[in-house]
Amino acid sequence: MSRPLPKRAALIVNAKSRKGQDLFRDACTKLKAAGVEITCAHALEDPSHLPEKVREVVADGAQMVIVGGGDGSLSCSVDHLVGKDTVFALLPLGTANSFARTLGIPLTLDGAIDVIANGVRRRIDLGMIDGDYFANCASIGLAPLIAETVPHRLKRWLGRPGYLTWAAWKFVGFRPFRLTVGEGDSAETMDAVEVRIANGSYHGGTELVEDADVDTGEIVVQVVLGNAKHRLLTSWGASLMKLRWRRQTVREFHGKALRISTEPKLPISIDGEILAETPVTAKIAAGVIEVAAPRPDAAAKR
């Protein structure tokens, strides 16, 4: 029987995330009403200070840290909970909210707070790119190109429609690439239009890597195959519509650690933030943090 979730927590919100500034005060009020005592609350105007603030409240002995923001905010927070007896909880306030979707956490403020107040502890894996932990998914291809250039105000004002509009614009200049997975005699080289390095099944708010989950003990590298960029549109469309042949557009590699290189060298977006460049080693860190997750019966209903 797992221990119950703590009833005392530190709250840290990225006020630059799409909904962060608007919902910070509501979150404070509703968490207290749900029976969660907020020991300290911070609305950060500069997201670069978020990891430092998480590290600070964990060092001060926070029983639970609630982070509000998008996938990038959540991913840069998890490093500081590895090996700690502190529960990580999240308020999905971003654009895609892929990590929340993977965990089955509702995307509404009230629904996410209900999980924090009445959910359960769940021990989960984290992905790693070289020495950097990440929560949900890293990617090579079009996604980093978008992440490098998308105007923040476009994401904030228009949300996913704005993000998709910018993606269509950047698609014009996008080019396929050569990918090698593995090393030595076991290495395999192929043409690719996108690579998803997944600890969770959602990427860009869409379920794409169905075999990946946060407690499997392995990393999944899913390659969208092809040497023409329209293959990416075909694969995304088939996944969005859950067509049976969607798996024919990709190839998957599973393991504890996988070496990944490209020709040419390419940037890697880690949960929406450009933080690495090929070549890298993708690894799994099994069961290294505890999160506030929905009860199994609630998750099944959703």
CATH class of this structure's domain 133-286: mainly beta
Higher pLDDT, 67 or 232: 67
Is the per-residue pLDDT at 121 higher than 70? yes
Q: What is the mean pLDDT of the segment spanning 75-98?
A: 94
- Cα separations in angstroms, 112 against 71, 93, 156: 15, 10, 20
- Cα separations in angstroms, 247 against 6, 30, 167, 223, 238: 41, 42, 23, 10, 9
> Does the domain made of 8-126+288-301 have the CATH classification 2.60.40.10?
no
Greatest pairwise CA separation for the chain in angstroms: 59
Q: How far apart are CA 51 and CA 36, in angstroms?
A: 23
* Rg of the chain in Å (alpha carbons): 19
How high is the mean pLDDT of the chain? 90
Closest-CA residue to 116 (of 10, 236, 15): 10
Q: How far apart are CA 167 and CA 163, in angstroms?
A: 6
pLDDT in the model for residue 61: 96
- Contact between 129 and 138 (Cβ < 8 Å): yes
Is the per-residue pLDDT at 208 higher than 80? yes
pLDDT in the model for residue 169: 54
Q: How far apart are CA 233 and CA 7, in angstroms?
A: 45
Domain boundaries, the chain: 8-126+288-301, 133-286
The DSSP secondary structure of 75-118, one letter per residue, reads HHHHGGGTTSS-EEEEEE-SSS-HHHHHHT--SSHHHHHHHHHH
pLDDT in the model for residue 152: 59
What beta strand segments (E) does 113-218 contain? 120-129, 132-134, 137-141, 177-181, 188-198, 202-203, 206-207
Checking DSSP bridges between strand 177-181 and strand 280-293, what pairing results, if any? unpaired
- Contact between 205 and 96 (Cβ < 8 Å): yes
- Cα separations in angstroms, 90 against 83, 113, 114, 176: 18, 9, 11, 35
Query: Look-up: residue for tokens 């290189």?
Result: 261
Q: What is the mean pLDDT of the segment spanning 205-219?
A: 95
Tell me: the pLDDT tens digits for 237-292? 899 899 999 999 999 999 999 999 999 999 999 998 889 999 999 999 999 999 99
Is the per-residue pLDDT at 300 higher than 80? no
Higher pLDDT, 111 or 72: 111
